[in-house]
Amino acid sequence: MHTGLKKLKGQGYDVDQALHRMLNDEVFYLKLLKTFSKDNNITVFKKAMSENNYAAAFEAAHKLKGSAATLGLTPIMPSLSKVLEDLRAEPPNGTLQIHFSQAQAAIDDCLHLLSETIGS
């Protein structure tokens, strides 16, 4: 197994399940991880939240959560789920900013780890 994938696995990422989804094609999986690290939805999510554009934030967060689930990026899933729950409420729940901060930190940590481990 690629050393970067071993490190991700050691940090709690569900590399085995993601690889299973990719038919154990490590090269393809690594390519998808690099693509995720440049996903425009990350920028859209952060910008939409800073502008209180909750519809755009919801859409971007939902796409990020789906990508993260597929790629086994489990550490960012709980905070994204909480943000989505907050955004579903009308008006958004009062915990939205707290959960957004947690999601932003988790995403940033993930991107940093991806950069270190696979050179994204």
The distance in angstroms from the start CA to the end CA of the chain is 18
Element (DSSP H or E) covering residue 33: helix 26-37
Model pTM above 0.75: yes
In CATH, the number for domain 3-118 is: 1.20.120
| pLDDT over 90 at 115, yes or no | yes
Nearest to 39 by CA among 109, 118, 107: 107
Read off the pLDDT of each residue in 15-32 and give the average, rounded to a whole number.
96
What span, in angstroms and rounded, lies between the C-alpha atoms of 18 and 5? 11
Token pair, residue 60, equals 């971007």
Round the average pLDDT of the chain to a whole number and report it: 94
* Model pLDDT for residues 55-107, shown as the tens digit of each residue: 999 999 999 999 999 999 999 999 999 999 999 988 888 899 999 999 999 99
pLDDT for the residue 120: 59
Token pair, residue 30, equals 């690594």
CB 65 within 8 A of CB 80: yes
